[in-house]
Amino acid sequence: MDPFSQLILTISVTSFLTFQWLFHRVSPWMSMRISRGFLGLTDKQKVEWNSRTVSTFHALLVGIFCLYGRSHVSNSVLARFLFNLLLIFYYWKAIGDKFFVVHHLAALYAYYYVLGEGMLPYFANFRLLAEFSTPCVNQRWFFEVLGYPKSSRPNMANGVAMAVVFFMVRIAVMPVYYSRMYAVYGTEAFYLVPWGGRVAWICSSICLDIMNIMWMHKIARGCYKVLRSARQSKAAAPQENGKTD
């Protein structure tokens, strides 16, 4: 086995085992001390809680590394996707989601060529900047399961942050990403990538971005409704006080 393959294998296995340790040991121990509400969750909710804790930690780590252009971070992402899929299938009744499975399979198909063939690391890192939106998405679920009202300040602040960050790292970057793809399309370098790699690159990108647009639409609608409801509540409060007086 060549040194590069050994490095990929080492990082992937180490990452996978680290995720297991974080999920089974670190997250439960830390969550019990940070949030009293964790002890009141059902077993199914605890499974998803621990999964999202690992997801948040990894997303921040990956996002930071991608900003510095570290291509080997893709190995860690591959390990996490495999970990997530195994977790989903094992705890299907608790966290099963067909849409989520499709997302991960599309990403795994593309990253096979990035890691197995060493192709397109720049575009792979570009896609992984989307991980910066994951912590806010997970935090929304944490607030929801802990019983925070949607109109509460922490929930509203996180909702606005989620909408802004999701738009910036998944939607606003699309013109830049596809303009770079178009600039490469049809060149000699483009045809050096085998047919399977080109399909993985282009089709997976389109598939993932269709889902990103659908998610952005839901997030924007949810954020608008909550902000609108909060504004109406504030406007109604002085009127009610006036009637009471």
pLDDT confidence bin for 244, thresholds 50/70/90? very low
What percentage of the chain exceeds 70 in pLDDT?
Answer: 82
Residue 226 has what pLDDT?
Answer: 82
Q: Is the pLDDT of residue 88 over 90?
A: no
Pick from 75, 66, 85: which is nearest to 13 by CA? 75
- Express each pLDDT in 107-120 by its tens digit: 777 777 776 667 78
pTM over 0.75: yes
Give the pLDDT mean for 22-37: 92
Q: Which residue has the higher pLDDT, 77 or 129?
A: 129
- Express each pLDDT in 145-184 by its tens digit: 999 988 888 999 999 999 999 999 999 999 999 999 999 9
